[in-house]
Structure 1
């Protein structure tokens, strides 16, 4: 739903009821990911989308019906239809599950609070029950990255479990489905005869921006900082030479730092989404910087240079005590082979490799592959996710 957060924020503060249609399951190739939403108000105004156009009309009509009839949340599936070319279906061949519900802003003040937070740029999650006991389907919790959550599922143990999962997903910057087993309320019997209710919860995440740390105030850095900013990264440019490390040279960077790269990296904030891009190709900067970066729990480490530079750099890193496992994390020469020559083309090459690495994709042309284009998102370690 956060793809339409600005409009929903306005509707909630106006007290305007609306129907919310949310993608809660994807199988095979589908145009948009889990969590994407379309909303319709009583005047027929629509915002967002759930399929890139294939089934919007059908979902729009269902939303208007649920809104007008004050009906219970409805779950509907759409797939490819080859028997009727005009049937509502996905031409991409995948299948999606949609939950359509009526939202009364006054009945869910925690949703308005969550939308306040995300529109203000504060990291927050919205935990949205999409399957379970009927009275809970559609209910939400607001889980900020710090402080107490807002809302309840009616059971304290379930609230704690959902909040813990939501905070883990916030740290990872990922929207995902989770399953929570808990007590409270009636439940159907499980295979072993025990009584247990199970909730499927879609956690919508608005995380802090991931960081892109670019070391080296060179011409390629200006293009890469612009591309990184476009992709939503908080971009830092760092170089030990103050004459080159100036905000005027890198207007798209969020900050420009004049410091020795390895000294800056020691003290700066990083996480598993951080991309470290070393563009200096100067050993006095690269070796201490990469020796440190390859030991840190960052998401990506890449270094620019020719193949000859790479071989020389690897030798120096080995002499500095960098292990083979650590060297295996290094993307060097940096970027994908797309024939890039200009700074702008090189920036696309580098960011393409970062995207492919982050999503564990091959980087090969889609025309060379078979099967679904969009692969399932892998679960986080230790986090129960819904199928």
Structure 2
């Protein structure tokens, strides 16, 4: 839902009903994870994507029915080979999609959804909880590949300000005790940025499994800190922004570190790099999901900056430069007394060997290495591997 949050807020300010279609379960090689959402309006507009084009047509048709009759539906796509072929789910995966009408005039519909989307756009943590059928529920005969559901399926509850002593709760899943029970689970998942299905008793009993709740967690975006206001930094900022990073560009030279030169960056900071990074570290704003790219390739900046960066919890620290520059950089870090185990954390020269020459292709090379390390992937060509592509 993160990618359509702005569109949903726009729809909520209008008077046209629409449907929110959410992937609630996936099996095998389904291309998008649980929590992925698409909106369909009464006038026929589709916003977002659920499966890279595989099932959108079938979901769109079911969404129009739900908008017309107000009944929530569960679409099960790819359950059999014939059904997978019929909806185009050629990847062999399976999806459960919950389709729910939203009336902008109904606070029960709008308030949890609006609260979640506002927090997403502010890059503040939030969770949207959806009451869903159990995977084992007997839903009766499907209408096509969709099942009509009875309330309280589709009810929403939003959790915002999860770091406060008492998180803000908006909406209800249809039972006060269930609402109370799911809040603790949601806050824990939100801290980890994890979307999961949790099962409870009818009234929130934790050891029972009479009802299921999809907890869609939207944590803050991971940060990418780019040091060095050069043309390679602009290309990397644009690429990182595209894949969901909150991007900061930092340089000590005010003539180069300007928002006009880096329109894609969320922040452009004029400061000595090591001082800025130390301040962010002291403020608790450097986390295990943070990626740091040092593009200054100037030892007077690199060495003090890397002394801080290699000792911080960031998942990735890379530095640009030729092999000769990198040899000098490593020697300077050793002379400064940095332990070998910290020096070994450095990805330098930065990036994968893709034959990159331009700032744009170099940005792809750097982001590919960061992505590989983030997900602990092999980086091998998919044609040379076996097993599911989307695990």
TM-score by length of 1: 0.79
Counterpart of 1:342 (choices 353, 358, 361) is 358
Q: Does 1:265 align with 2:284?
A: no
CA distance in 2, matches of 1:281, 1:170: 37
Counterpart of 2:235 (choices 211, 223, 229) is 223
CA distance in 1, matches of 2:358, 2:208: 63
Distance 1:178 1:326, change over 3 A: farther
Distance 1:199 1:295, change over 3 A: farther
CA distance in 2, matches of 1:201, 1:85: 24
User: Comparing 270-279 with 324-333, which one deviates more in the overlay?
Assistant: 324-333
Q: Does 1:29 align with 2:29?
A: yes
User: Comparing 350-359 with 329-338, which one deviates more in the overlay?
Assistant: 350-359
| Residue deviations 1:215-256 (CA, integer Å, cap 9, x gap) | 223342233233333434333222334454445544443443
Tell me, what secondary structure is at the counterpart of 1:281? coil
1:304/1:334 contact within 8 Å kept = yes
Distance 1:287 1:163, change over 3 A: farther
Tell me, what secondary structure is at the counterpart of 2:247? strand
Distance 1:367 1:183, change over 3 A: same
Aligned residue in 2 for 1:8: 8
Aligned residue in 2 for 1:62: 62
The 5 Å alignment of 1:1-387 reads: 1-14=1-14, 16-71=16-71, 73-79=72-78, 82=81, 87-105=86-104, 106=106, 107-114=108-115, 117-118=118-119, 121=122, 123=124, 124-131=126-133, 135-145=151-161, 148-153=168-173, 158-160=178-180, 162-171=182-191, 174=193, 176-179=195-198, 181=200, 184=203, 195=208, 197=210, 199-205=212-218, 207-242=219-254, 244-247=256-259, 249-268=261-280, 269-375=285-391
1:81/1:87 contact within 8 Å kept = no
| Residue deviations 1:129-174 (CA, integer Å, cap 9, x gap) | 22459754312122223552212335666545544444455555x4
Distance 1:40 1:261, change over 3 A: closer
Q: CA deviation at 1:210?
A: 3.3
1:276/1:301 contact within 8 Å kept = yes
CA distance in 1, matches of 2:325, 2:227: 17
2:274/2:304 contact within 8 Å kept = yes
| Residue deviations 1:95-150 (CA, integer Å, cap 9, x gap) | 21212233445133423432561575352332222245975431212222355221
CA distance in 1, matches of 2:301, 2:347: 17
Q: CA deviation at 1:275?
A: 1.6
Distance 1:96 1:308, change over 3 A: same
Distance 1:39 1:23, change over 3 A: same
CA distance in 1, matches of 2:54, 2:331: 54
Distance 1:265 1:160, change over 3 A: farther
Distance 1:137 1:204, change over 3 A: farther
2:293/2:318 contact within 8 Å kept = yes
| Structure 1 portions without partners, runs of 5+ | 376-387
Distance 1:10 1:289, change over 3 A: closer
User: Comparing 222-231 with 264-273, which one deviates more in the overlay?
Assistant: 222-231
Distance 1:340 1:51, change over 3 A: same
CA distance in 1, matches of 2:114, 2:370: 34
User: Comparing 81-90 with 12-21, which one deviates more in the overlay?
Assistant: 81-90
2:23/2:33 contact within 8 Å kept = yes
| Structure 2 portions without partners, runs of 5+ | 138-149
Aligned residue in 2 for 1:384: none
CA distance in 2, matches of 1:346, 1:156: 53
**Matched residue pairs, number?**
366
Distance 1:260 1:201, change over 3 A: same
2:352/2:365 contact within 8 Å kept = yes
